[in-house]
Chain A
């Protein structure tokens, strides 16, 4: 059963999601949670102003009716604002990894990294795929440490096909056949299938 009332993660008694004062709260447009192979979950939050924040959910999971700890003061990453203020968000891929860096003492230090592989956003004009990639091999993400989004954002596919079907309002994954689903304001659910030949990347 649900336990009422719920816990307010961010609200009138705390800082707004966009880091402003509580009376300047921005509407939450979309949420997407992604399990990580190494354990834990990421939660991507898309605000009405197009800003996407990625939060570490492990630290504020619930057990029974007890919130284990307070939510973190800041998201892991901030992204955007994305073009078109997306109304839908979906994390298609996320992974943990380990990188080794050489210290000044010539020792190797292992660091846990966290990578969002694909973040799919639906906004006016269709469904776009945002690939989050490290800007350079030498620059690693200090994952699980709040800070600026360390990834370059590239729009790989504008999703122009089907854009006349309306603006996507929601996204989901249908695992039975491996389809991406997008519900639009025109009353359609677009069933997407991975294209055999990908278009060339469009750098934003």
Chain B
């Protein structure tokens, strides 16, 4: 199958990782985690930007939880369930982080914002070192494991577990996180319910 470029979403600095969950597209740049969504109008909107320390530049992203809601063909857009999820992040310094992502019941719509540094429409949020709230989108660092890899965590993947293997769930999903580093090591992260 051939593919053609339909749209370009601009960031400052290289895009180290991109991932998608529910109606969100999540991007990692050297100093930020950026969340995008596709609007019913067909344009893309940046809904949140969380700045991170460059030494812990996110290199790999894995959204663990599928967000509630669903795509409504009648309106051509995503209906949000007002839920959230967990985002696993592999960093430049070898750290593996767990972020909590909370979504409002209604994400902003109709505001096509491609500029960096601006958040979603009607953003009346606040930021601290490890927590950002924009327009009801809350992204918070809740746990980290430093030194997981001896070098940058280049990549990560979610391996869904065969249902016959057990009843353990992680935020509703069975499976395990696998991270790959520049140290040539693959790590499998065990999860507890």
Interface residues of A (CB under 8 A from B): 1-12, 16-17, 25-33, 35, 39-41, 43, 45, 47-48, 57-58, 60-68, 89, 92, 118, 127, 129, 156-157, 159, 161-162, 165-166, 169-177, 179-195, 197-199
Chain B 1-41 near chain A by CB (<8 Å), digits 1 or 0: 11111111111111111111001010111000000101000
Tell me the total A-B contact number using a CB cutoff of 8 A: 244
How many angstroms between the C-alpha atoms of A43 and B186 in the bound complex?
11
Query: Which 5 pairs of residues, A with B, have the shortest CB-CB distance?
Result: A25-B184, A183-B15, A28-B180, A192-B3, A63-B166
Is B49 an interface residue when CB atoms closer than 8 A count as contact? no
How many angstroms between the C-alpha atoms of A170 and B164 in the bound complex?
32
Interface locus among B103-111, B119-127, B128-136, B151-159: B151-159
Interface residues of B (CB under 8 A from A): 1-20, 23, 25, 27-29, 36, 38, 44, 71, 78, 96, 98, 143, 145, 148, 151, 154-166, 168, 175-193
Structural contact, A187 and B143, CB atoms closer than 8 A: no
- Chain B residue with the shortest CB-CB distance to A193: B6
Structural contact, B178 and A192, CB atoms closer than 8 A: no
Structural contact, A6 and B166, CB atoms closer than 8 A: no
How many angstroms between the C-alpha atoms of A186 and B8 in the bound complex?
11
- Chain A residue with the shortest CB-CB distance to B188: A7
When distances are taken between beta carbons in the complex, the residues of chain B under 8 Å from A162 are 4-5, 8
- Chain B residue with the shortest CB-CB distance to A63: B166
Structural contact, B10 and A188, CB atoms closer than 8 A: yes
- Chain B residue with the shortest CB-CB distance to A2: B189
Known A-B contacts: A30-B155, A171-B18, A176-B71. Give 13 more (CB < 8 A): A2-B189, A16-B184, A62-B191, A64-B168, A118-B1, A129-B2, A157-B3, A166-B14, A170-B28, A172-B25, A181-B25, A191-B5, A191-B6
How many angstroms between the C-alpha atoms of A32 and B25 in the bound complex?
17
When distances are taken between beta carbons in the complex, the residues of chain B under 8 Å from A165 are 5, 8
How many angstroms between the C-alpha atoms of A24 and B94 in the bound complex?
19
A-B residue pairs in contact (CB < 8 Å), sample of 27? A3-B189, A25-B184, A28-B185, A31-B157, A31-B180, A32-B157, A64-B191, A64-B192, A118-B1, A156-B2, A161-B4, A162-B5, A170-B28, A171-B18, A180-B3, A184-B15, A188-B11, A189-B18, A189-B27, A190-B5, A190-B7, A191-B6, A192-B3, A192-B5, A193-B4, A194-B3, A195-B1
Structural contact, B166 and A33, CB atoms closer than 8 A: no
Q: Which of B157, B160, B165 has the most CB of A within 10 A?
A: B157
For the residues of A in contact with B, the DSSP-based class is: strand
How many angstroms between the C-alpha atoms of A3 and B112 in the bound complex?
40
Structural contact, A9 and B161, CB atoms closer than 8 A: no
How many angstroms between the C-alpha atoms of A8 and B96 in the bound complex?
14
- Chain A residue with the shortest CB-CB distance to B15: A183
How many angstroms between the C-alpha atoms of A12 and B150 in the bound complex?
11
How many angstroms between the C-alpha atoms of A39 and B188 in the bound complex?
19
How many angstroms between the C-alpha atoms of A155 and B12 in the bound complex?
31
- The 8 Å CB contact of A192, one of B6, B175, B188, is B6
- Chain B residue with the shortest CB-CB distance to A1: B192
When distances are taken between beta carbons in the complex, the residues of chain A under 8 Å from B157 are 31-33, 43
- The 8 Å CB contact of B178, one of A31, A191, A199, is A31
When distances are taken between beta carbons in the complex, the residues of chain B under 8 Å from A58 are 162
Q: What's the least CB distance linking A128 to chain B, in Å?
A: 10
